[in-house]
Structure formats: structure tokens, C-alpha cells
Structure 1
Amino acid sequence: MALMRSASMVGIASKARIIPARAAPNEFAPAGSAVRCAGDNAMAAKMRDGYARRINLAALAVSVAVLGFAYYLQHVEFLDPCPWCIVQRLGFMAIGLLALVAFLHGPGRAGAQVYGVIGGLLGLAGASAAGYHLWLQSDPGRAGACVGSPVERALDALRVGELWPDFLQYDGPCTLDPWTLFGLGIPEWSFAWFATLSAMYFSVLVRPRR
């Protein structure tokens, strides 16, 4: 009797469905995911920083090129700058200095945005100065008021010309427009480059995350 009961139990056991054991959860999965996320964020931040550094390098190159060409026009073509020309030169010098500092600093995203705001505003200020210069040149009566204007008095009070006499000392009137390239004069080109630099720096702010 006991033998029959044992055989019956063996048969039932043999017919029973074997349920595979569930795989143990990977205890290291959360840590691995965190590491991957951190790596992705670091790579994205590096890409954003690289974009900002390229913007700063390009802005530095543009500023140096524009200032170098202004020096050429003054000392080779003998075109003396007017007070508003000096203001625009100071604007390009400020953007070039900002670009150099930002490039050497190499900040993170927040710092790059701060530099972007400053650079964009400097570009807008320079474009405003160039636009006002254009407005002065459009009318002889207004252009004549450039001499003895508040800008000229401010430059004299700050002794800007003494900082770099060969480049920051104004001697020309605002009425002259003797040089053109593709039909555009000096203030037109200045306006175009300031607007370009401003757009370049503001692009750092609106560039989407990756």
C-alpha cells in the first residue's frame, strides 16, 4: 500500500509543470544607468562648451581683422577717424577682449550664457553707434554737429586718444565717406559686423540642449 502511494506521488510530481525561476533583478542597473546619464550629460556639456569656444574664437578673429583693417585705412590710406569711428573701434576692442577672456576661461553652460549676454549687448551697442554714424552722414547739417558733440567731449575728458595715439586719436570729420567696398562705406561695414557678432553671441543662449 505504501509502495503504491509512493508510485502515485512520483507520477504526480513527474506531470507537474516546472515553473522556471525568475531572474534576480540586477542590483547594479540603477547605478549603471546613473553612470550612463552622467556620461551623456558630460558629453552634451562638452559639446555646448565647444560651441561657445568656437563662437569666442570667431569673434576674436573678426574683431582683430576689423581693427587691423581700420589701422590700415588710417595709416596706409590716410583716412583719419572721426569721434564716432573711435567709439566703434572701442566697441570692437571690447568684444575682442571679451572673446579672448571667455576663450581662455572656458566656462560651463551658465558661464557661457553670461558671456553670450555680454557679447550680444556689446554687439548691439556697437551696431547702434554705427547706425547713428550712418544717420549723421546722411545729412550734412547733422554731420557738422559731430564736431564739439557730447561724444567728442567725452572722449577728450577720458583722454582716450592718449591711450593709443596712433589708433584712438580722432582727427577726421563725420562728413567724409571716402572709402567704399561693394558700395558700402565704413559705418555700413561696421554695422554689419557688429550685428553679426551680436547674433553669434546670442546664438549661445538659444542653442538647444543635446
Structure 2
Amino acid sequence: MSITTKLLHTIALVCIAAVGVALVSQHVFDMQPCAWCVLQRLIYIVIALVCWVGVLVLRPGLGHRIVGGTTLILGLLGVMAAWYQYTVAAQMFSCAQTFADRFMVASGLDAGFPWLFGIYATCMDARVNLIGIEYALWSMGLFAVVAFLSALVLIRKR
């Protein structure tokens, strides 16, 4: 197994673990998600799927670089979403009609998979600390790690 394949598997597993932690937080510890929270879950899942499709379908080399570039962009979008949640949305009484809310509702994912993508809290109510650090900052840091690992895949030579 090549280094790029291992990196892609690692990125995918980290993303799935992040969603798993979010689901445990929601369903076990009653930390209800806001629209920006579930949008970030979607980004993590898409990154994992892109990584695994890249490993299973695409050939190493150019195929893995395409995956690396795609996941780098998605990771940076995740950083932006988490940053917006932390700096703007968390200060609002409601995140209704923000991009995240409109996107998740328009996609139908919130109604189709409410246990995963249901929006049950306002952004202000969803401000939760984990070991003294807000969830949004943990997510932003994890997206930064994903983006860094994706950049390694992108620039790695065969």
C-alpha cells in the first residue's frame, strides 16, 4: 500500500470518526446540532467518500492527486464553515435562513436523515465546549488537519 493510499484512508477515517463523535454527542449527551454543525458533518462525509472512491476506483498518481486537490478544497470549505459558525452564526439568535440552513433544507437531507442531518438547535444554543474549547474550533482544527494531509497527497510524488 502506497503512502498516498494510506493518507487517503487516514483522512477518510478521521472524517468518519469526527461524525461519530458528533453523533455520540448528540444522541448520548443531548448536544443538539445547528445548521452549521450538520453542514460540517456533510462535508466530513463527502471528504471520506471522495477519499475512498479515489482509493478504490482511481489509479495512483494523477487520480490520487485529483482526490488530494478535491479534499483540500473541501477541507478549506470546512475550515470556513467552522470559522463562520464560531465568529458569526454563534452570535445570532437564529441561524435560520443562513446558507447552511437553506442548503441543508433544500437538499432534503435534514428530513431524509434526521438522526444525522436534523437541525435541532439555533447556532447560539449549539455553542458547546468540549474540554474548554468550543466544538466549532475543534472542527475547524480537524478540517485544517484534513486540508494539510490532503495537501501532502496532492504534492506527493509517485
Corresponding residue for 1:180?
130
User: How far apart, CA to CA, are the structure 1 residues paired with 2:105 and 2:13?
Assistant: 30
Matched, 1:101 2:50: no
Once the two structures are TM-superposed, the CA of residue 110 in structure 1 deviates from its matched residue by: 1.1
Corresponding residue for 2:138?
189
* Correspondence for 2:118 among 131, 151, 169: 169
Q: Is the 8 A contact 1:53 1:106 kept in 2?
A: no
Q: How does 1:21-170 map to 2 (within 5 A)?
A: 50-105=2-57, 107-136=59-88, 140=91, 143-170=92-119
AA in 2 matched with 1:147: A
Q: Is the 8 A contact 2:34 2:119 kept in 1?
A: yes
Residue 121 of structure 2 aligns to a residue whose secondary structure is coil
AA in 1 matched with 2:123: C
Larger Rg computed on CA atoms = 1
Q: Is the 8 A contact 1:95 1:119 kept in 2?
A: yes
Residue 97 of structure 2 aligns to a residue whose secondary structure is coil
Could you say which structure has the greater relative contact order, defined with CA pairs below 8 angstroms and 6 or more residues apart?
2
Q: CA RMSD in A?
A: 1.8
AA in 1 matched with 2:9: L
Structure-2 change in CA distance of 1:205 and 1:162 (3 Å):
same
User: How far apart, CA to CA, are the structure 2 residues paired with 1:153 and 1:137?
Assistant: 14
Which ranges of structure 2 fall in alignment gaps of 5 or more residues? none
AA in 2 matched with 1:114: I
Residue 170 of structure 1 aligns to a residue whose secondary structure is coil
Matched, 1:204 2:145: no
Identity of aligned residues (%): 26
CA shift digits 1:50-108 (9 cap, x unpaired):
01101111011101111110000000010110000011000000011111112223512
Once the two structures are TM-superposed, the CA of residue 137 in structure 1 deviates from its matched residue by: 5.3
Residue 2 of structure 2 aligns to a residue whose secondary structure is helix
AA in 1 matched with 2:106: A
> Number of residues paired by the alignment?
157
AA in 2 matched with 1:108: P
CA shift digits 1:126-166 (9 cap, x unpaired):
1110010011256x3xx225123243133222212123111
AA in 2 matched with 1:91: I
Residue 144 of structure 1 aligns to a residue whose secondary structure is coil
AA in 2 matched with 1:105: V
User: How far apart, CA to CA, are the structure 1 residues paired with 2:106 and 2:56?
Assistant: 33
